[in-house]
Amino acid sequence: MIHAVIFDMDGVIVLSESIYTKIFVDMINRDLGLKIKSTDFEKYNGIRFEKRIENICSDNGINLEDEKYIEMANKGRHEYATNSMQSLKLNIGILDFLKELKSRGMHIGVGSNGSKKIVEELLVSLGIRDYFESVIAFEDVDHPKPQPDIYLENANNLFVDTQDCLVFEDSISGITAAKRAGMKCVALTTTMDRMQLIDADLIIDNFTEIDVDKLDEI
């Protein structure tokens, strides 16, 4: 029986992936003299920005020091936090879904590969921080997604067995992390198409398609 629901942040709670993509694509092209497209960046959705930049560099025959990948990732995060955070919107139907979960006494958490500071600030700015009992981000674990640590730590914080947790994700990396944690996973088509999300237990377009009373049937 489902006793806890854990949400990824970007692309699940908030519609932010397209903004991140523009920031990082523009930065990579400007700083490295490349001409990558949005699709080149989006194919690595769900993993840390440092690794995404490294993968793109590798795809283009560029090898940088690890410190450079970290520097560029932090630069992109800073631009996002400074200029874009206030313009973000919640995913369709999620506020009503959170209210329904809360009214039924469901435990609720966030599991993100992103920065803890940015995740916390974003939840507050969106007015939804009080819905979440547990917020686990990159800094809280030894291994990010696709490893299960972020979701296992959430289950531990919420005092719920992993088989009683349901995860909402939008990336292959996130689905893999949830499955490795022994949890059911619902995927949203926010950033990837249905064929890419096929390993999820259920695929939806937005939260209006989810019935809180039928979570145990997933």
**Which of 43, 66, 86 is the last residue before a domain boundary?**
86
pLDDT per residue as tens digits for the range 91-146: 999 999 999 999 999 999 999 999 999 999 999 999 999 999 999 999 999 999 99
Judge if 99 and 138 occupy the same domain: yes
Task: Say whether both 188 and 106 belong to one domain.
Answer: yes
Residue 39 domain boundaries: 17-86
Number of domains making up the chain: 2
User: Do both 81 and 171 map to the same domain?
Assistant: no
What is the predicted pLDDT for the residue at 46?
83
pTM, entire model? 0.88
Residues 118 and 188 in one domain: yes
**Region 17-41 average pLDDT:** 93
Q: How far is CA 175 from CA 92, 128, 197, 211, in A?
A: 20, 24, 8, 20
Contact (CB, 8 A) for 4 and 106: yes
pLDDT tens-digit readout, 83-92: 877 778 999 9
* End residue of a domain, out of 68, 86, 104: 86
